[in-house]
Structure 1
Amino acid sequence: MHMVASNNRTMQRILKTSLALTAAYVITTFYFGLRAHSLALISEAGHNVSDMLAIILSFVAVYFQSRPANDHKTFGYQRAGVLAAFVNALTLIVLAAWIAISALHRLYAPVTVQPRLMMYVAVAGVLMNGLIATLLWKFSGDVNIRSVFLHMLGDTLSTAAVIAGGAAILFTGLQWIDPVLSLIIAGMIMISSYGIVRDTLNILLEGTPKNLSLPDIRTAIESVEGVNGVHDLHVWSLGSKSHALASHVLVSEMPMSDCTHILDSIQNALWDKFHISHTTIQFETRGCETTHGCSAPPELEIAGAHSHDHSHHGHSH
């Protein structure tokens, strides 16, 4: 728990630093983008505004994720970061569409740009975005932080492209290079945003985590000695890293102590193979026969096993 709190404080500190640097760069890029008549630079400013939104949302999400569960939020606020990443990615898609439309318009109505100014500002952007991306890399396993990391990495690459574009315009005088660069930047934003939308929407809709296979999980449970069958199996993500499972497990009639041994074996298998630590297992001696869903027979309720182990397996393996 102490390590989680320490990580959250570190993430908040990095996000604050990133926000301050990004805000300064947005103002600089937009101002000099207007001065240089460069749509590519103005697009970069817009891209970085979305990064500011991403950082703010992520900061709020990290704050909420650190809050404990309560009677109203029994799983805590683990999905705050997922929701932040989803909203952020949607705004990026809208921004990318705007950049693309503006670039296409400028292809038909060329504007003379100042390539030297483009290059100077872009060099500063590469250094800043590269620094922030490096700081965020350590925490990029979290989907919330990963959405910000991808923004910054994309910004670093797209800003480097602006430098190359400025050099090309300087040596060739071809003004269409600027809007073409903007289209490339818009495409990069679209690609990175689509992945975030897909992953976060799967979590919000409680889909099976993309790195887990339900048939493999079913096989792992059925391979435990004493298990006769598995049904009503559900696996979903609580946050970007934690997964939960609920299932009915068919067993033979036996003493309570034997059920406990089977439960322990199932939990160990789920943690060792799939890193699932939050489980709810209900034992049954016959299949569900009601038409309104699965339920344990009344005389077997005492044999039902409900495990909500959040930390035991995480520390013992």
Structure 2
Amino acid sequence: MTGNGMSEDHHHHHGSGRVLLWSLVFTTAFAVVELLGGLLANSLALLSDAGHMLTDSSALAIGAIASWLAVRPASARHSFGLQRAEVLGALINVLFMLGVVVAVAVAAVQRLTQPQDVAGMPVIVIAAIGLGVNLTVAWILIQGEQTLNVRGALLHVFGDLLGSVAALVAGTVIVLTGWTPIDPILSLFVAILILWSAGRLLREVLRVLMEGVPRHIDAHEVGDTLARVRGVRAVHDLHIWTLSSSSYALAAHVEIDGIAAWERILPALQALLRERFGIAHSTLQPETERIRNACDADPTCGHVGHAR
């Protein structure tokens, strides 16, 4: 790990932790207000959004803790540090969201089969305030580094924002028409939207945990680019994976004509990886003709990026 890489990672996670903490303060404060308002108005739209926001508070707290852990220095036990903490935080956020979706869906179905009276005007007032709070929190999060943790928090906030809009519409319809089924119907609609977004984030988290190549990086392009560096014959046994949202790692075997040239080739390869692909953590093993011949005799030694 280069000194610059450590500094940049620390800055990214420190910034994301700060915006998560500010978002936590706003979200927790209004969640209590919305919960009391939902009970007063007997509105499922408000209650589900309050539950969503309380879940957001827990998720934001987890995200802030994960961001703090992510900047802890590497140790003998964790050689890459605790950068993956943000990925685990994002995974917990997704699981929380799935729980909220199930709870809202069950309550909505019950309300549809057994309609209840809802006080429309309090719903409108509280939902309008909630919309403003959610827009403020979303703006705070967007200003921060877009790590998986922050994106997970944004997912929660956008869900809250949709919940506030749904509650605002539900309250308006109830005041104008008295049709109370609109309350559970819109709650169910928001739950479906949240489920779709949670599924997208879950796929990305699983991609990281399964050591997948970062979505924006083409492994073949990386191998071919490295193989075009002067003195490099080919690159093989190439592996690229994600450490955190802003940190990637690479390991590869590099075939060269002679070991004497490695002192010049290695810095060129590392600079190319950092500047073109954003890969700051690289482990490159040089191979001479003798080692290359042994590799060619091994059917498990695949090639990515061939000699010029």
Q: TM-score, normalised by structure 1?
A: 0.85
Which runs of no fewer than 5 residues in structure 2 stay unpaired?
1-5, 302-308
Match of 1:215 among 210, 215, 220: 220
- Displacement after TM superposition at 1:227 (Å): 2.0
Percent identity of paired positions between Structure 1 and Structure 2: 35
Matched, 1:126 2:125: no
**SS, match of residue 238 in structure 2:** strand
Q: Distance in 2 between matches of 1:201 and 1:52?
A: 23
- Displacement after TM superposition at 1:172 (Å): 1.7
Residue pairs, 1:144-183, within 5 angstroms:
144-183=149-188
- Which one has more relative contact order, counting CA pairs under 8 Å at least 6 apart? 2
- Single out whichever of 4-13 and 137-146 deviates more from structure 2: 4-13
Which runs of no fewer than 5 residues in structure 1 stay unpaired?
295-317
Q: Distance in 1 between matches of 2:129 and 2:285?
A: 59
**SS, match of residue 92 in structure 1:** helix
- Displacement after TM superposition at 1:215 (Å): 1.2
Question: Are the equivalent residues in 2 in contact too, given 1:140–1:146 (CA < 8 A)?
Answer: no
**What per-residue deviation string (whole Å, max 9, x for no partner) do you get for residues 104-158 of structure 1?**
2221211121111111111111111111111111115111112112211331232
Question: Are the equivalent residues in 2 in contact too, given 1:140–1:149 (CA < 8 A)?
Answer: no
- Give aligned pairs, total: 292
User: 1:87 and 1:152, CA in 2 relative to 1: closer, same or farther beyond 3 A?
Assistant: same
Query: Given residue 63 of structure 2, which amino acid in structure 1 is its aligned partner?
Result: S
Q: Distance in 2 between matches of 1:225 and 1:204?
A: 35
- Displacement after TM superposition at 1:15 (Å): 3.0
Residue pairs, 1:1-317, within 5 angstroms:
11-252=16-257, 254-256=258-260, 258-284=261-287, 285=289, 286-287=292-293, 288=295
Q: Distance in 2 between matches of 1:141 and 1:33?
A: 32
Question: Are the equivalent residues in 1 in contact too, given 2:35–2:47 (CA < 8 A)?
Answer: yes
Q: Distance in 2 between matches of 1:202 and 1:22?
A: 29
Question: Are the equivalent residues in 1 in contact too, given 2:16–2:146 (CA < 8 A)?
Answer: no
- Single out whichever of 220-229 and 77-86 deviates more from structure 2: 220-229
- Single out whichever of 261-270 and 36-45 deviates more from structure 2: 261-270
- Single out whichever of 237-246 and 138-147 deviates more from structure 2: 138-147
